[in-house]
Amino acid sequence: MENQNKKKIRLVATGGTIASQARSRVSTEGYQASVISVEDLIAELPELNDIVEMSAEQIFLKPSSAITDEDLFHLSARVNELLASDECDGIVITHGTDTMEETAFFLNLTVNSPKPVVITGAMRPAHVISTDGLLNLYNAVCCAASDASYGMGVVISMNDLILSARDAVKFSSFKTDAFQAPLYGVLGTVRNANVTYCYKPLMRHTTTSEFAGAQYGKMPRVDVLYMLQGIDDMLFKAACAAGCKGIVSAGSGNGGVIGAIGKAYKEEFEAGKDELPVLVRSTRVCTGGVSDAYRMGNPKIIPSHDLNPHKAAILLRFALAKTNDPAEIKRIFEQY
Ligand code: ASP
């Protein structure tokens, strides 16, 4: 009974560079994207069978820039279904790194189980010298099989580090240490199959998330506006005309909403427009977040705190799917 005490880990593969074939042994770009099936991927890592009872499925095979809302709800439903069974002790998801932090945060809100969910990928395609994919995958499986990962929420395991889905940011577009958690730091490490956590996320996630198990048919439209010196209000007006229910500003500094956009928003508020979108102030600065300043007597102006613009957009869409009450939306941004 060789497998008696081994954890049952399910690999759910979605594509990305980890599933991509290098053009040559020395070329890390211009590879054949998302072409390696999950069967071929795990066939290269027989060592996994020494540590866990491994099974795998291909939920989709695409670059992460092509992932849709529908894909995300499908993935989240599948993860919840797998975790509800005694046949699954933890899940590893392979994923493109470009939007990995978004999928991770989405799952952190919607997974309905304390069992480990670990996302990993690669910065270098398969079969290039010094590719990072297989070791990242091995480490992610160690992480998913560790009792210490229980109740940690969704985590990203890349480059020997373990990061909370909430805090992880893709910080380099080419280095293998692409993921960092600039404000609060990483949760732990995986070294030579040893999983060590030093910190535990305290904000709401997975089993304490009010969105756990959520399946929304159509999510409200939210647009992100990047603040630039001298920007006019054209994109703000276009977003309103497109029916957006919320705007996230990638603001300057402590979430400053620049000139013409701030003015246009204030005018619409003063004109008492009911359909005025909620404005969540985030920042284009990579760490530090924003404080609860600049509310200008308008309850619809809400700080993202330390969520970056793309994570703030995800949380705002979930919040707006549930409520239009700005006080409730503000409460949600304080708790996640
Ligand atoms: N460059 C990406 C990656 O690292 C491609 C993607 O996000 O799918 O996986």
Tell me the pLDDT band of 1, cut-offs 50, 70 and 90.
very low
Q: What's the rounded Cα separation, in Å, for the pair 86 and 185?
A: 33
Per-residue model confidence as pLDDT tens digits over 5-20: 899 999 999 999 999 9
Average pLDDT over residues 302-326: 97
Q: Which amino acid is at 59?
A: I
Percentage of the chain exceeding pLDDT 90? 93
The alpha helices in the chain, defined as continuous H runs, are: 38-43, 48-51, 69-83, 100-110, 133-145, 234-241, 259-270, 309-322, 326-335
Q: Which amino acid is at 85?
A: S
CA of 16 to the centre of ligand 1 (A): 4
The H or E element containing residue 93 is strand 90-94
CA distances from 98 to 7, 65, 281 (A): 30, 7, 23
CA of 63 to the centre of ligand 1 (A): 6
What integer pLDDT is reported at residue 295 of this predicted model? 76
Give the Cβ contact number of residue 63 at 10 Å.
18
Average pLDDT over residues 37-66: 97
Phi–psi pair at 240, nearest 5 degrees: -65, -40
CA of 95 to the centre of ligand 1 (A): 7
Tell me the pLDDT band of 183, cut-offs 50, 70 and 90.
very high
Per-residue model confidence as pLDDT tens digits over 246-298: 999 999 999 999 889 999 999 998 898 888 999 999 999 999 999 998 777 88
Residues 6+ apart with CB under 8 A from 238: none
Determine the distance from the C-alpha atom of residue 276 to the mean position of all C-alpha atoms in its chain, rounded to a whole number: 28
Least confident segment among 161-170, 272-281, 315-324:
272-281
Residue 63, ligand 1, Cβ within 6 A:
yes
Bigger pLDDT: 2 vs 190: 190
Percentage of the chain exceeding pLDDT 70? 99
Q: 17 an active-site residue? A: yes
Q: What's the rounded Cα separation, in Å, for the pair 236 and 63?
A: 29
Task: Supply the pTM of this predicted model.
Answer: 0.96
Query: Residue 204 in contact with residue 242, Cβ under 8 Å?
Result: no
Average pLDDT over residues 190-204: 98
Tokens of 197: 């956590």
Atom of ligand 1 nearest to the CA of 18: 9
Average pLDDT over residues 42-56: 97
Tokens of 271: 């004109």
Give the Cβ contact number of residue 16 at 10 Å.
29
Per-residue model confidence as pLDDT tens digits over 82-136: 999 999 999 999 999 999 999 999 999 999 999 999 999 999 999 999 999 999 9
Q: What's the rounded Cα separation, in Å, for the pair 139 and 159?
A: 9
Write the residue with the smallest CA distance to atom 7 of ligand 1. 96
Tell me the pLDDT band of 211, cut-offs 50, 70 and 90.
very high
What integer pLDDT is reported at residue 3 of this predicted model? 56
Residue 17, ligand 1, Cβ within 6 A:
yes
What integer pLDDT is reported at residue 23 of this predicted model? 95
Residue 16, ligand 1, Cβ within 6 A:
yes
- pLDDT greater than 70 at residue 2: no
- Enumerate domains of the chain plus CATH numbers: 3-208 (3.40.50.1170), 222-335 (3.40.50.40)
Q: What is the mean pLDDT of the chain?
A: 96
| Among 302, 266, 313, 306, residue whose Cα is nearest residue 283 | 306
The helix, strand and coil proportions of the chain, stated in percent and rounded to the nearest 5, come to: 30, 20, 50
